[in-house]
Each structure stands twice: as C-alpha cells, then as structure tokens.
Amino acid sequence: MAPVKVFGSAVFANAARVMACLEEVGLEYEVVEVDYTAKEHKGPQHLSKNPFGQIPAFQDGDTMLFESRAIAKYVLRKYSKPAQVDLLREGNPEEAAMVDVWTEVEAHTYLPAIAPIFYECVVYPARLGTSSNQKVVEESLEKLKKVLDVYEANLSKNKYLYLAGDFFSFADLNHFPYTFYFMTTSHASLFDSYPSVKACWGRLMARPSVKKISDGMVLRA
C-alpha cells in the first residue's frame, strides 16, 4: 500500500496540523512540496487536488481530501489504534462535543487573534520586505489577551490539564501550528501572564509528534 501523501510541507501551518496527526497515529506518509512562491498551489495539478487552490491537499489511495481539519479527522478516524490514541473521543458524545467546541474556538476565535501577529512580524517582512503594521499587531495582541483570559479561566477553574478536559485531544493539537509560529515572534512572553495556558502549551510542545513537526517549520523567506 503506497504511503499517504500530504501536498505542502510543514512550513505551512495547516500542513503541519495534518502532519502532527499523522505522527500521533504513527502512520507512514510522504510530503510533496508545493512551491508557493511559484504559485504552484494555483496551478492545474494542485487545483485537481484542492479546487480552492490552498495548502494542504491529501491523498490516501483513491481518496483525495482538502481542508486541514477535515484531513486530520479522517486520519485520526481511520488510523488511530484506540488503545493508544483517541484524540476525537467520538465514542463518548459529551467528550467529543467538548473537543469540537475547543476546535471551533481555535479556528474562529483564537486563530483570528494570534495569526495576524505572526503574519505581520514574520511572514510579510520575509516575503514582501514590508515592516510590520504595528496597528494590526497591537489590535491583535489586545484581542489575544481577551481570548487568553478565557482560556486561563477555563483551565485553572476546572483544573484541567487540557482544553477539552483531562485528556489530550484534537482540540489541543489544533493550537500547535500557529502558537508555535507566534512563539517565534518577540511577543512570545505574553504567555508568561497565563500560567495555566503556558503549562498546557508546554505539554503540547513536549509531545514527540509536535516536536518532530515543529523542527520542519522553519520559515524560508
């Protein structure tokens, strides 16, 4: 059986999301580079895999998928050995619901606050040669602080080790790529004011899957 393929390297946060899940289930996979600067993701070959021209895309035999969170869930459902890895908790409706809640929060509340900081401080200067838009950075930091206030309260009030409860889940893993990139900026120390969040982040970063993928997340200009 040919290994599954991820189209787009770990430098792309959403590809890293998928790869962290592949590492968690211990499945062999192949990474196919997509040349972003050459706009390969908008070319016909990539569009046949991801019709919206985004990274990543994914192939498992005849199954072609796109959207990193959809790919990740497919991988976790198909390849998890339940005794070892149960990041979705789909056998337990209440737990699965909490995993979904915090997965949605990451996508729609956390990400819009944290991602612009990374893009302004690292990506745009590297790719476009521009200096960071300080107004965007300041506004995003204010938004992020309010979000982290809620995360901190949730973790410390419930004395949870992880976001959805006392179990590590897909919800925590989803926070990895963009938080990792945020931590490469000069604003990383913001997390020092949120001890429970910082501790949760430490647990996430300590996972072999996350350590391995983050090693490949070196932004090349």
156: contact with another protein by CB under 8 A? no
CB 66 within 8 A of CB 55: no
State the alpha helices, DSSP H only, in the chain: 13-25, 44-47, 68-79, 93-105, 111-118, 124-128, 134-158, 170-174, 176-182, 195-206, 208-215
For residue 211, the minimal CB distance to another protein (Å) is: 27
* Residues in 122-151 at the binding interface with another protein, rule: CB under 8 A: 150
For residue 181, the minimal CB distance to another protein (Å) is: 18
User: CA-to-CA distance for 211 and 189, rounded, in angstroms?
Assistant: 20
* Nearer residue to another protein within complex by CB, 105 or 137: 105
* Nearer residue to another protein within complex by CB, 44 or 208: 44
Based on C-alpha coordinates, what's the Rg of the chain? 17
51 C-beta neighbours (distance < 10 Å), count: 10
The binding track of 76-95 with respect to another protein, each residue x by CB under 8 A or -, is -xx-----------x--xx-
Residues at the interface with another protein (CB under 8 A): 51-52, 63, 65-71, 73-74, 77-78, 90, 93-94, 96-98, 100-101, 103-105, 107-109, 150, 153-154
